[in-house]
Structure formats: C-alpha cells, structure tokens
Amino acid sequence: MSKYVKELVTRDIKQRLDGVLDAVLVHCTGMDANTTAELRGELAEKDISLYMVKNSLARRATEGTSLAPAFEGASGPVAICYGASDFVSLVKEVVRLDKDDDKYDAFTASGGVMDGEALDADGLKAVSKWPTREEQISMLVGQILGPGATLSAAMLGPGKTLNSQLKSKGEEE
C-alpha cells in the first residue's frame, strides 16, 4: 500500500472514530461473509458499530486520542466495536457474543479501552458484570423514593388504624 493510500485510510478511520471515547477490540478473522453480515446486523439492532481495521493504521489514526491505549500490544487485523447506550451495554453484548460458540466461532473479545485506560479480555469480562446505565438509574430512583415511601407509610398508618376503629365503632351503634 502506498504512503498516499495509507494516509487516506488513516484519515477515514480518524473520521469514523471521531467522538468515540470507549471501544472494544475483537478478532473475527476466519468468519465468512454471510456470518459477518449476520453479526453486523445483530450488533446494529443494539446500535453497535463493527469496523474492521488494519492494526497499524488504526494505531496511527488514534494517536493522541482516548482510544490509543486499546491498540498498544494488539496484533493482527482487529475490529472495533463502539456505540450502544453506554459502555457496559456494549461490553455485555460483545461478551455474550464471544460466549456464543455455536453461532460465531471466530468472534473473540481481545480488549478495549474505557475512559482512556486499556482493558484486557479479563477486564472486559469483569466490566460485563456491572449494572448497565438503565439498571443504575432504577437503583438510584429506588434509593431516592424509598425513604419517602417509608415516611408516608409511617405517617398514614396510625391515621388509617384510627379510621378503621372509628368505622367499626360506628357500625356497632
């Protein structure tokens, strides 16, 4: 590949990854075109993009960005997965597809980058056990509303008890 073509490809990679802060690197060499298209479709349903890159060109394109640590030590052709509603959702989906040996044999998660720090395959598996953004929001809302519900029950409980006692006395007379 000539220097001019490498420069064009590097510029294209840089444009595609502009604004991407967190990503997961996967290896999917050895997959046929139909399986790759099916994989891309499955990922697209969850707003995840899969972009095949040559390692050295991606390293050159991500120099000085938060994605640069992901390519340190990476070898061979890799694919970059990015998108989803949050990074944990992305990692959960990639790890799920990695475990699904029947459908995608050649698909393996090799590493990634989160907040500018490189993650290895074991780090990705650890992140996949974290709660997603939606789960965190629901836990937070539950913690916020919990004390209010307890206070409301404590305030209304004696009044309801008194009301039921007055009602029963009224029915007796």
Boundaries of every domain in the chain? 3-130, 133-173
Closest CA to 82 of 94, 74, 72, 71: 94
* Pairing state between β 23-27 and 108-114: antiparallel
pLDDT in tens, 17-68: 888 888 999 988 888 888 888 888 989 998 999 988 888 888 888 888 888 8
pLDDT in tens, 111-156: 889 888 888 888 888 888 888 888 888 889 988 988 888 888 788 7
pLDDT at 7 over 70: yes
Average pLDDT over residues 93-107: 82
CA of 19: how far to CAs of 16, 66, 84, 120, in Å?
A: 9, 10, 14, 22
What is the predicted pLDDT for the residue at 101? 62
Q: According to DSSP H, which parts of 20-101 are helical?
A: 33-44, 55-61, 87-99
State the fold for domain 3-130: Alpha-Beta Plaits (3.30.70)
Model-wide pTM > 0.85: no
What is the predicted pLDDT for the residue at 14? 87
What is the predicted pLDDT for the residue at 48? 92
pLDDT in tens, 57-98: 888 888 888 888 888 877 778 889 998 888 888 999 888 888
Predicted confidence band of residue 108 (pLDDT cuts 50, 70, 90):
confident
Give the three-state DSSP class for 53.
strand
What is the predicted pLDDT for the residue at 98? 85
